[in-house]
Chain A
Amino acid sequence: MSANETVIEILEEFCPGVDLETTTTLVDDRILGSLTMVALVAELEDSFDIEIPPVEIVATNFNSAAAISALVERLSDEYDD
């Protein structure tokens, strides 16, 4: 399963009923609030075995499934042995 597919599978639980392929305003439209954001970050860290520092928790990194996938891929590369 690709990173994007895993991200979408995770997001389906956090953003039910949202078209994750096309939505690019998950944070701007408050679909992801600060409470769900923390739970989402915890889930992403567990699933991808990465650490998402607070500095990365900004709207541009979480507004869409694609942006989140790019973030986890970038952080995964940094952590790769």
Chain B
Amino acid sequence: MFFNLAFFALVLPFSVLAYAVAPRRLRWVVLLGISYYCFYHTSKKLIVFLVATTLSCYLCGLWLASIMDKRDAALAVKGAKRRAVREEYKKHMRHVVALAVIFNLGLLVTCKYLGFLLSVAEPLLSLAGVATPIEAPRIGMPLGISFYTFMALSYVIDVYRGSVKPDRNLGRIALFISFFPQMLEGPIGRYSHTAESLTEGKGITRSNLYQGTLRIFWGIAKKLIVADRLNAFVETVFDGYAEFDGGVIALAAVLYTIQLYCDFSGTIDVAIGIGRIFDVHLPENFRQPFFSRTASEFWQRWHITLGAWFKDYVYYPVSLSAPCKQLTSAARKRFGIHYGPLLASSVALFCVWFGNGLWHGSGSQYIFFGMYYFVLIMLGGLIEPVAISAAERLGIDRDSLPYRLFQTARTLAIVFVGELIFRANGLGAGLEMLSSIAHNFTLGAFSRWDPYHMHLDIHDRNIVIAMLVVVFVIGYLKEHGLDVSAKIDSQSTLVRWVVLIVLILAIVIFGAYGYDYTPVDPMYAQF
């Protein structure tokens, strides 16, 4: 249903048409109806999980509103001890937030992690005399549960923090949580950012229709021309890595990273493009990640909305909790202004990266993936002052082009290793593949390349390289302040139509679909 031919040929045009002809005050109802139809079509009875999350967060928002009303009334009383009053009501509000978090994470855990938890608990249950193995109930996973749960929780926490007013309109909350372009892979939006534009019901303008359509086809081009074309090769190597030498495995790690980027960012382009048609501005999820100079910077440019969610709702709350603040102050006095906060932040960073790994799934490779970045970012922080002083002593300009290229190359290597672990069929397989790269790296396989067996011939190679050059140039220009899509939008109608038609023709001619290719579902939808 989502982002396939039927969706683009039927559902999306119908949505645009229905939205355009509906009275302005009912347009958001059209979006809500289509969102729930799409969700039901893919998840069937699991829609109860979406409804439960929506209702729970809506009710918790109202509950917080009623506590805030009582608090404000208490504060208005002359002579009231403002601080004591605030603290008292804040405690009540924390309980409401805790309830929302426990309930909704409980739903997420039930759908996504129950089998994993039972497998972990089995030895203990066995010791306690419970008959094992215990079969986990097959509930299934509602579409986009990891994404919409985080969005729903962000609403409740933002109400608690006072950055969002509690919404008394259940339909608006339901639409914010279920808006259909976001349902598959995000981006993980915030209520303060999108809710208003979702329900404003602005008409469809020519500019938005063109910009949105262009963005949709750009996303499809990245996915169909690059990502899906690389899929068979990547799958062949990762599934049968034992028969390949280190050179081929290293190439597979690089091409998997490219595949994932083109697939995920392409799907996000489609989501943002659809939003744009309805004048709903969804947040960007990627900002030229391969230009990053450090692993930390990479994560500020890759899956931005997930990183921002963890920063706002895990990193800061943990860092600013009373024990961590005490640790920060003590460590700062003991270890100085750099190492003190770094050591104290390690607790919060550990929570963030453990959560980030676990969010992707319960497999050991995902936990390892999170810990890999935790260790690297901590090491980066520890080494930074030494690297700065070493560069000064050696007379190296850290802003010079060669040094920046060195940093980018180093970051890319870190990312490729991380994605290899992420994609491997289990942690053991990932470590064996890395070992093969380290101990069995040869280029021999490339001279006796069998395109049929490897599912990658010279035709595929040339198309992938040509498309990647286009992606790189557009990314490079954006990095230097030139937004190509805005530039196209400012051209004459003829030029704009030519660009769109060329893009569609490129997809039709060079897209990896049909006889030789297996359709590939959007890769992040499984998370």
Contacts and interface: CB of A to CB of B under 8 A. Distances in A.
Contacts of B345: 34-35, 38
B342 A57 contact: no
Contacts of B162: 53, 55
Interface residues of B, number: 28
Nearest to B161: A55
9 contacts: A35-B342, A35-B345, A42-B320, A42-B328, A45-B325, A46-B329, A78-B86, A79-B86, A81-B81
Nearest to B311: A34
Contacts of A52: 320
Nearest to A46: B329
The binding surface of chain A is classed by DSSP as helix
A19 interface: no
A55 B162 CA distance: 8
User: Taking chain B's interface residues, is the majority helix, strand, or loop, or is none over half, making it mixed?
Assistant: helix
Interface string A16-46: 0000000000000000001110110111011
Nearest to B348: A38
Given A79-B86, A80-B82, A39 B315 contact: no
Contacts, number: 57
Contacts of A13: 337
B158 A39 contact: no
B236 interface: no
Contact of A54 (B317, B325, B342): B317
B82 A79 contact: yes
Given A13-B337, A55-B158, A55-B163, A38 B83 contact: no
Given A39-B328, A54-B312, A81-B83, 16 more contacts: A35-B345, A36-B337, A36-B341, A38-B316, A38-B320, A38-B328, A38-B344, A38-B348, A39-B329, A39-B341, A39-B344, A46-B329, A52-B320, A54-B161, A54-B320, A57-B316
Interface string B421-440: 00000000000000000000
Interface string B238-278: 00000000000000000000000000000000000000000
B163 A79 contact: no
B12 to A, nearest CB: 36
Interface string B63-81: 0000000000000000001
A41 B320 CA distance: 8
Nearest to A57: B316
Given A38-B341, A53-B161, A54-B316, A81 B82 contact: yes
A8 to B, nearest CB: 16
A54 B162 CA distance: 11
| Interface-central residue, B158, B315, B325, by most chain A CB under 10 Å | B325
Contacts of B328: 38-39, 42
Contacts of B82: 78-81
B76 to A, nearest CB: 14
Contacts of A35: 338, 341-342, 345, 381
Most buried by A among B82, B316, B340, B344: B316
B319 interface: yes
Contacts of A43: 329
A38 B319 contact: yes
B332 interface: yes
Q: For B162, B337, B338, B342, which residue has the most chain A Cβ atoms within 10 angstroms? A: B337
Contacts of A79: 82-83, 86
Interface in B314-344: 315-317, 319-320, 325, 328-329, 332, 337-338, 340-342, 344
